[in-house]
Amino acid sequence: MVQGICLAPELMFSTSQGFGRCLRPNYRHPLDTRMGEALRHVGEMAKQLAG
């Protein structure tokens, strides 16, 4: 939340246990440049964490 990005674990939205390693971005605003950059940043952080 430090960078203003919120993600929810997919298990909150699925009854299946097959999504335990998934994240679900949630937003209700149209996709604009700012939101696209935020999603790109999340992807970069995920790559770093994955090694």
Please give the Cα distance from 18 to 41 (Å, whole number). Answer: 25
- Name the E strands within 1-51: 7-9, 23-25
Q: Above 60 in pLDDT, residue 12?
A: yes
pLDDT class of 10 with cuts at 50, 70, 90: confident
Q: What is the DSSP letter of 2?
A: T
21 within 8 A of 35, measured Cβ to Cβ: no
Q: What is the pLDDT of residue 2?
A: 57
Task: Please give the average per-residue pLDDT across 22-45, as a whole number.
Answer: 82
pTM, entire model: 0.58
Task: Please give the average per-residue pLDDT across 11-31, as a whole number.
Answer: 75
